[in-house]
Amino acid sequence: MRRALDDLGLPSPGRLRVPGESTNPVLLSDTGLAVKLYGEHWCGPESFASESEAFKVLRDAGLPVPPLMGRGELLPGRDGWPWPFLVMARVPGVTWRDAAAVVDRPTLLALAREFGRVLRRLHAVPLTGSAVLRPDSPTFPDLLRERRAGTVADHREWGYLSPRLLDDVEGFLPDVDKLLAGGEPRFVHGDLHGTNLFVDVDEKAVSGLIDFTDVYAGDPRYSLVQLHLNAFGADRELLSAMLEGAEWERTSGFAREMLWFTFLHDFEVFEETPVDLTGVEDLDELAQVLWGPA
């Protein structure tokens, strides 16, 4: 990490620390910077490309995204993996997860409402990328097709849902082309979990969005899955506050549509959802338990 900072002529830190778990190694410096390395495995090449593209697309969007300070490779021009890296400014505030553990209920609802406003602006960012963030990118629909084919087997392995309920999922899920038909692709952040969202508790404001490795030109409903099931812990009152802030119309079919995207999501989305769902054997009931009105 020190080598990366030195290569870019950035201040040498006295201390570096690991902020928490991360697929790609991240260290924070005491000089106010974050260094992120991308390995050869665990989709490292794709993650580096997506995050680099996202920073270009978001550069002038006026969103709470950390400035990109530079990029490079630790081993340029050598055989083997070059270990690319990005250096960003650290975002202020605390993670949503840390804030949610200590703030009162009115403050948490205000923060959820404010994040809805930020999410609305994020979805409105022009898709000016050259790969995954261009309007005609096939990445998102291809992902949904892959997930549609594998979701039942994965959920049987994960064990969060009733086997009886999973018997009905194949017939419940729509064709991906029909699901996306008529929708305008938007900037989608697919991993809005509780440590990728930062807030200023005193100001009741969103202070940072990070980790743009799972971004797409796609359907904005997809971005709600990790946000609600991970960051919000499936708290439907927080979901309602966020939707209010986003000026998101909650139609009569909202819960059912969101259950589609729950099954089509790329992650093990129930891993940190603090709700026992094993006794739910009806898909419409599951849709309401997770995505219905508070």
What is the Cα–Cα distance from 269 to 165, expressed in whole angstroms? 17
Tens of pLDDT along 173-199? 999 999 999 999 999 999 999 999 999
pLDDT at 20 over 90: no
Residue 26 sits at φ, ψ, to 5 deg, of: -130, 135
Q: Do domains 2-89 and 94-291 have the same CATH topology?
A: no
In this prediction, residue 225 has a pLDDT band, given cuts at 50, 70 and 90, of very high
pLDDT at 105 over 90: yes
Q: Over pLDDT 70: what percentage of the chain?
A: 100
Domain 2-89, classified CATH 3.30.200.20, yes or no: yes
Q: Choosing from 136, 154, 191, 219, which is the catalytic residue?
A: 191
In this prediction, residue 42 has a pLDDT band, given cuts at 50, 70 and 90, of confident
pLDDT value of position 114: 98
| 39 CB neighbour count, 10 Å cutoff | 16
pLDDT at 276 over 90: yes
Residue 7 designated active-site: no
118-150: burial string, b at 16+ Cβ within 10 Å, e else:
bbbebbebebebeebbeeebebbbebbeebbee
Is residue 222 classed as helix, strand or coil in its secondary structure?
helix
In this prediction, residue 23 has a pLDDT band, given cuts at 50, 70 and 90, of confident
Closest CA to 168 of 275, 259, 272, 265: 259
- Delimit the domains of the chain by residue range: 2-89, 94-291
H-helix or E-strand spanning residue 16? strand 16-17
Closest CA to 244 of 93, 70, 116, 54: 116
Contact 187, 215 (CB under 8 A): yes
Cα dihedral: 188, 247, 264, 275 (round 10)? 120
Domain 94-291, classified CATH 3.90.1200.10, yes or no: yes
Q: How far apart are the first and last CA of the chain?
A: 45
